Amino acid sequence: MEGIVKWIEKRAETAPERTALIGERRELNYRDMSREINQTARLLSDQHAVKKGERIAILAGNGVEYMVLLFAIAKLGAIAVVLNTRLTAPELTFQLNDSGAGLLVAEGCYRELGTQLVAGSGLADVLWFDPHGLTAERLEDRISECEGTFGETGADASLPFIICYTSGTTGRPKGAVLTQENMFWNAVNNCLGLDITSADRIMALLPLFHIGGIGLFSLPALFAGGCVILPDRFEPERVLKMIEEHRVTIALGVPTMHDLLRKSPAFEGTDLSSLRWLYNGGAPCPHELITYYLDRGIPFGQGYGMTETSPTVFLLSKEDYTKKVGSIGKPVLYCDIRIVDDEGRDVKAGEIGELLVRGPHVMQGYWNLPEETNKALRDGWLSTGDLVRADENGFVYVAGRKKEMIISGGENVYPLEIEQVIRELPSVDEAAVVGVVDLKWGEVPAAAVVLKERSPEDEGEAETSQEQSRLEEVQSHCMRRLAKYKVPATIVFVSALPKNATGKVDKNQIKIMLEKRMEENRHGDICNRPEGQLQ
């Protein structure tokens, strides 16, 4: 199979004037994108000695340059190491050393961080660029005199193309190795699942260092011959303006992004009529948020994916998004799934089990981690670690992470179920539930809750009659909607939930905070339910 650069080269022949990329500062049609990919590949090869199989780290924000870089690396048959710009120098240094990257391509605004990375790693070379030409030369100026073609280099699509590191919330980060062939099948699955065509204008809200930014739905749009709009960063007012200005048809974000968009003062006045899909990924979306958009006539879908699957596994179709609110849909076309119990047996409809995935979009493995690869990939199936259930019609719903499941007094408790119940309250903005140690029951659920309208004294535990009233409201609601053993033993109001660099709630931090609160209040606090209510 030929590599992904062929997508752009063919479009440059058949539809050269069609717009391919739109950034904050400039745009490229397919002819110019193909030319810049070729020039950038020549720059990397001639001036930085990049060869097939070598790792090139990218430290940059979203933009036209980033997308061109990815395709240039693919053309060379090299491997992109996409660095999360929100991580610290020690975290990124680990990834550079682990991947063995020899070249760092870095945007000038990250010079301080990049300098630290050079000092702490085995990097041999750095290519600085600045889209605005303020702190370094613009990339298009660097490549302007780099002419010449590369024949069939990078054409073997089965070789590694991207090393995308997992967030590392449960241990050391692992570099998922994805091939150009993985990208092809992910593009096919998304185009077929959402009817993506050359008429679509996709907005990339997620960062391109995230597999969601690359695979949802940037590369699928380019595979289809469509257009990708690339805001520099996520700013609700700016994003809304670009949706209206560029007539965006599909935009994917995480729940936090969708929530910020609707809360923007500019939301009501923005023309969103071009949108045929707002899509959610990265984390389950609250029902209330989904119905908010649906009530306003904006199609809102939910899917499921992960870094290791390039990423799409499930999509909710246009026929079902209003009928199956909360479902992640059904598997995409070129993807098989199983839902199994702890013994590896398929569970019945309605029962919760671990999701296994098989298909041509599944990663090669984890970089330099054969044991971890063998644990994750068994008999051709990827163990996701996610718990799901399927209804009688095959629609799948996420129940939570297997490692997050709480076993309280021998009963299985799924944090997501409790979070969804707490978020039913109009006064609640966000909620996160984790398991904390309990001497009697082994573990009990505990919740961190963000209220929609808060006063400064609301932070921390209930000390005022107003907050006690809110606390009792949450507890009473949980007691009405959940079995007693599922009702949180501790509820703490916080101003915001800690999130990692990709916008997901950081449950490790929440667990540490709540366990500390449990220990401090072991002798009775309004946030602790009486022991008799636990089971």
**Cβ–Cβ under 8 Å, residues 329 and 317:** yes
* For the chain, percent of residues with pLDDT exceeding 90: 76
Range of the domain at 355: 330-402
Residue 39: inside a domain: no
**Cβ–Cβ under 8 Å, residues 126 and 104:** yes
- Asked whether residue 167 carries a pLDDT value surpassing 80, the answer given is no
pLDDT of residue 76: 95
- Rounded Cα–Cα distance for residues 147 and 149 (Å): 7
pLDDT of residue 403: 87
Is the peptide bond between 217 and the residue preceding it cis, with omega within 30 degrees of 0?
yes
Q: Which residues, in sequence order, are CB contacts of 298 under 8 Å at separation 6+?
A: 272, 275, 278
pLDDT in tens, 88-116: 899 899 999 999 999 999 999 999 999 99
pLDDT of residue 530: 32
**Cβ–Cβ under 8 Å, residues 386 and 170:** no
**Among the listed residues 163, 164, 158, 177, the one whose alpha carbon sits nearest the alpha carbon of residue 377:** 177
pLDDT of residue 147: 77
- Bridge partners for 505 per DSSP: 499
Distances (CA, A) of 519 to 23, 490, 513: 50, 11, 10
pLDDT of residue 521: 67
Amino acid sitting at position 477: H
Amino acid sitting at position 158: S
What ranges in 144-269 are assigned the alpha helix state H?
180-194, 211-215, 218-223, 236-246, 255-263
- Rounded Cα–Cα distance for residues 212 and 256 (Å): 15
pLDDT of residue 454: 59
Q: Which residues, in sequence order, are CB contacts of 270 under 8 Å at separation 6+?
A: 240, 241, 243, 244
Residue 458: inside a domain: yes
Residue 462: inside a domain: yes
pLDDT of residue 156: 86
pTM (2 decimals)?
Answer: 0.86
Task: Assess whether 342 and 427 both reside in one domain.
Answer: no
Residue 63: inside a domain: no
The mean-pLDDT minimum among 145-154, 292-301, 341-350 falls in 145-154
Residue 486: inside a domain: yes
**Among the listed residues 301, 202, 282, the one whose alpha carbon sits nearest the alpha carbon of residue 501:** 282
Q: Identify the band that residue 149 occupies on the pLDDT scale cut at 50, 70 and 90.
A: low
- Asked whether residue 457 carries a pLDDT value surpassing 60, the answer given is no
Mean pLDDT of the chain: 90
- Bridge partners for 471 per DSSP: none
- Asked whether residue 285 carries a pLDDT value surpassing 50, the answer given is yes
Task: Assess whether 526 and 409 both reside in one domain.
Answer: yes
- Asked whether residue 339 carries a pLDDT value surpassing 90, the answer given is yes
Q: Identify the band that residue 412 occupies on the pLDDT scale cut at 50, 70 and 90.
A: confident
**Which residue is it, tokens 């939910």?**
302
Last residue of a domain, one of 402, 418, 445: 402
- Rounded Cα–Cα distance for residues 16 and 116 (Å): 41
CATH number assigned to the domain comprising residue 376: 2.30.38.10
- Rounded Cα–Cα distance for residues 334 and 325 (Å): 24
CATH number assigned to the domain comprising residue 435: 3.30.300.30
Last residue of a domain, one of 374, 402, 430: 402
Q: Which residues, in sequence order, are CB contacts of 257 under 8 Å at separation 6+?
A: 205, 234, 503
- Asked whether residue 462 carries a pLDDT value surpassing 60, the answer given is no
The arithmetic mean of pLDDT across residues 427-442, rounded, is: 89
- Rounded Cα–Cα distance for residues 12 and 33 (Å): 8
Q: Identify the band that residue 461 occupies on the pLDDT scale cut at 50, 70 and 90.
A: very low
**Among the listed residues 417, 419, 258, 397, the one whose alpha carbon sits nearest the alpha carbon of residue 328:** 397
The arithmetic mean of pLDDT across residues 429-443, rounded, is: 88
Task: Assess whether 409 and 519 both reside in one domain.
Answer: yes
pLDDT of residue 453: 73
pLDDT in tens, 190-207: 999 999 999 999 999 999
- Rounded Cα–Cα distance for residues 156 and 78 (Å): 11
Residue 262: inside a domain: no
pLDDT of residue 525: 42
**Among the listed residues 256, 204, 209, the one whose alpha carbon sits nearest the alpha carbon of residue 91:** 209
pLDDT of residue 189: 98
| DSSP designation for 286 | P
Question: Which burial class, exposed, middle or buried, applies to 180 when counting CB atoms under 10 A from its CB (0-12, 13-18, 19+)?
Answer: buried
Q: Indicate the number of domains in the chain.
A: 2
pLDDT of residue 440: 80
Task: Assess whether 384 and 420 both reside in one domain.
Answer: no
- Bridge partners for 56 per DSSP: 80, 103
Q: Which residues, in sequence order, are CB contacts of 266 under 8 Å at separation 6+?
A: 236, 237, 240, 241
Task: Assess whether 414 and 398 both reside in one domain.
Answer: no
